[in-house]
Amino acid sequence: MGSNILVTGGAGFIGSHTVVALSEAGFNPVIIDDFSNSNASVLAGLRDILGRDVPCYAEDCNQYNLLRKILHENRIEGVIHFAAYKAVGESMQEPLTYYRNNLGSLITLLDAMLAEGVSNLIFSSSCTVYGDPDTPPVTEETPIKPPASVYGNTKQIGEEIIRDVCQAKSLKAVSLRYFNPIGAHPSAAIGELPKGVPNNLVPYITQTAAGLRPELTIFGGDYPTPDGTCIRDYIHVMDLAEAHVSALRHTLSYPETRYYNTFNLGSGKGHSVMELVLLFEKISGLALPSRIGERRAGDVMAVWADVQKSANMLGWKTKRTLEEALQDAWRWQQKLNNL
């Protein structure tokens, strides 16, 4: 029997795909999710893919006694901590809500893990810690920039809290810095469920193609990039999910009792907004209504990951193409809208 792993936020976009990857790798995931930004239908999707129910606590994870009980009763050996608020714009309007939720739940979780002797932690961090890099690609040694949002600050501070705890206590932890996760499980049983108008590019593209939005606005066409649009590192969510399994194996087998490290999770390649639009049109066979609009405040011009450290130390690299990611995202949108 594989290890039991607690997945906080396991009903969310990256969390639910990681539950699949964990199960397929022989681990036994247990979810805690308060469903504040996810839907109970995810559990049915997981059942469709895995052929069994995944245990789930429908609770806020910022509860010390409850977390201790869950860690103890399920003989949890490691935790993957996804549960957090993630809307950049909202974080600027409601900073205390973001600090309380994202940092409060992390501290509560760390307290509960130390009390129960659970010594392996994987933390969801973000490439946002690099800000606007001078020369992409960024390595893990690229200096951290002052955060551009409260959300980004919760990730920076979260990393620092974990690093400090790993220096003082028996804890092995890694922070995973995600670039731009896109796509869905190829079965279309689970995928991204943005609330309201999507902020992110790919759900905006698929909702426009599905007729839910009149057109895509491309934020800025005058950047000093080859086609004038911003460049990002898009990664298939299942590749990202599998990286969590590699990271977990890495900490579980790490021979010391105190350990902390950070890893970039991206494809290692940059693609422009325009390239994504054209590739989506190719795979869907549709003409996507779009226009070039103003630049979006806070957007960086170009960022992509150097993934050598993740390859060397985690033995992980992406397997899926950008085309597959867009195909899977589109299949998921079509299923959502019965197209």
Taking CA atoms, 88 is separated from 13, 84, 196, 265, 318, in Å, by: 16, 12, 14, 20, 26
List the one residue from 55, 299, 309, 313 that touches ligand WQD (CB under 6 A). 299
Is 199 a binder of ligand WQD (CB under 6 A)? yes
133 prior amide bond cis, ω within 30: no
Catalytic annotation, pick one of 151, 178, 204, 223: 151
| Residue 201 makes contact with ligand WQD by CB under 6 A | yes
Q: By CB under 6 A, is residue 263 in contact with ligand WQD?
A: no
Amino acid symbol at 6: L
By CB under 6 A, residue 204 contacts ligand WQD: yes
Interaction of residue 200 with ligand WQD, rule CB under 6 A: yes
In sequence order, what DSSP letters do the residues of 235-294 get, joined into one string?
Answer: EEHHHHHHHHHHHHHHHHT-SSSSEEEEEEES-S--EEHHHHHHHHHHHH--PPPEEEEP
Determine whether 98 is an active site residue.
no
Query: 10 vs 181, which CB is nearer to ligand WQD?
Result: 181
Token digits of residue 69: 């009980």
Among the listed residues 88, 92, 288, 311, the single contact to ligand WQD using CB under 6 A: 88
Report the residue number, 57 or 82, with the smaller CB distance to ligand WQD. Answer: 82
φ, ψ (nearest 5 deg) of residue 225? -120, 170
Residue 174: strand pairing partners: 122, 261
Q: How far is CA 95 from the centre of its chain?
A: 21
Q: According to CB under 6 A, which residues from 218 to 237 bind ligand WQD?
A: 218-219, 230, 232
Exactly one of 169, 296, 315, 319 binds ligand WQD (CB under 6 A); that residue is 296
Candidate segments 26-34, 186-194, 217-225, 242-250, binder of ligand WQD by CB under 6 A: 217-225
Measured distance CA(68)–CA(230) in Å, rounded: 44
- Using CB under 6 A as the criterion, what x/- string covers residues 117-146 for binding ligand WQD? ---------xxx------------------
- Distance CA(179)–CA(232), nearest Å, equals 8
Q: Is residue 70 involved in binding ligand WQD (CB under 6 A)?
A: no
Which active-site residues does the annotation give? 151
Q: By the criterion CB under 6 A, which residues form the site for ligand WQD? A: 88, 126-128, 178, 180, 199-201, 204, 216-219, 230, 232, 273, 296, 299
